[in-house]
Structure 1
């Protein structure tokens, strides 16, 4: 099986299960035109995050890593009236593109975008007693996965769902003695979830338009 086949199956999933969505199509086009790297979640993955939020009944969501806001929009759409997603972004240009995309998708009122280093923003959220969040999605710089997971725990409650993206990395997560900081971050996410007795987790390997990767998913006991 090839990446071409995986991408074709992703297209089939979208064509078969999703209604036409010009707003989200425009968001992806804007991201391509305005420069954020093409590392958004796929449409199928975005829909998965949306369904997880709905299954969870999430009213408060924390996203670490906004990029152009594509995944943010999927989750924001799943929120009930009065719900809010706080999303953290380091890069001012990415944040500017994301804000424009939130307007385009009609979700700006549900989104609180915090600009700056995520760890600083997380400290601020802690000081504000902003938690607990019902769903936390971690998709930022991978070496900081343990720090982000630690903050996710501080800002959670029993029943909070935590999702960490890009933890398989084409299978490189198996490399115990590698020198890739992103792989080390993925392995650190597994170590954190596996060793923290407050968490019950698993991982899902994925193939598709984004290649071979996966998510770690855990619930706070």
Structure 2
């Protein structure tokens, strides 16, 4: 770890200690990520709190999440929408989904969360075909090669004013490599290209550093649908 990276961790620790309040359910959910298909991939505590704040600022009552893992971010979002809201979360791996369900019960949000197990793009298309009510906030944090497909589905499941957040769009700076042939990079580049050229959305992206390394997120507001 470089000196810069050590400083990133220290600052994140400082901010989390002072601003983020995890109860035991969140602590256990974060720890249980070790039992999922992608240990260490969950958002950091301050990022979970950020998602919660965005959901509250947006007045979100219906949230769609691509990628559940242990359900750490799901819990933050479910608590933000409250008991009268709902979070639909999509996870491909059943053993991982089972870990998340344990965490939802422990956190007291099982009644707020609807978990759909299977390939996320298939699940999202089923929601579209069923005429599901549009969502107020969409969080995309699943397999990166499918990012443009997830964005397309998210737009079809949105209404004007829907907020879309896409995680891990910087990827250690690799997203800026025009010659990359790495599928996660190509998927992320395609997502950003769509966000930047589609008149139906207004978007930006920010780099982040911290205990999750050098990465970032894109955030968009849907202006029109159809």
Pick the TM interval, shorter chain.
Answer: over 0.9
Shift of 1:128: 2.0
Q: Aligned with 2:158: secondary structure?
A: coil
Change (3 A) 1:97 1:36: farther
Shift of 1:177: 0.9
- Give the TM-score, by structure 2 length: 0.94
Shift of 1:20: 4.7
- Say which of 183, 192, 195 aligns to 2:194: 192
CA distance in 1, matches of 2:177, 2:20: 37
Q: Aligned with 1:160: secondary structure?
A: strand
Q: Aligned with 1:129: secondary structure?
A: coil
| Aligned residue runs from structure 1 range 62-77, under 5 A | 62-77=64-79
> Runs ≥4 in structure 1, deviation > 4 angstroms?
33-36
CA RMSD of aligned residues (A): 1.2
Q: Which blocks of at least 5 consecutive residues in structure 2 are unaligned?
A: none
Corresponding residue for residue 115 of structure 2? 113
CA distance in 2, matches of 1:157, 1:163: 15
Higher mean C-alpha displacement, 124-133 vs 58-67: 124-133
Higher mean C-alpha displacement, 158-167 vs 7-16: 7-16
Change (3 A) 1:79 1:3: same
2:158 is equivalent to residue 130 of structure 1: no
| Aligned residue runs from structure 1 range 41-190, under 5 A | 41-190=43-192
CA distance in 1, matches of 2:77, 2:37: 22
Partners of 1:85 and 1:110 within 8 A in 2: yes
1:140-196 CA-partner distances (Å, limit 9, x unpaired): 111111111001110000000000011001111110111111111111111010111
1:175-220 CA-partner distances (Å, limit 9, x unpaired): 0111111111111111010111000000011000000000000000
Partners of 1:89 and 1:117 within 8 A in 2: yes
Corresponding residue for residue 211 of structure 1? 213
CA distance in 2, matches of 1:180, 1:115: 27
Q: Aligned with 2:40: secondary structure?
A: coil
Q: Which blocks of at least 5 consecutive residues in structure 1 are unaligned?
A: none
CA distance in 1, matches of 2:43, 2:214: 12
2:4 is equivalent to residue 2 of structure 1: yes
Higher mean C-alpha displacement, 11-20 vs 141-150: 11-20
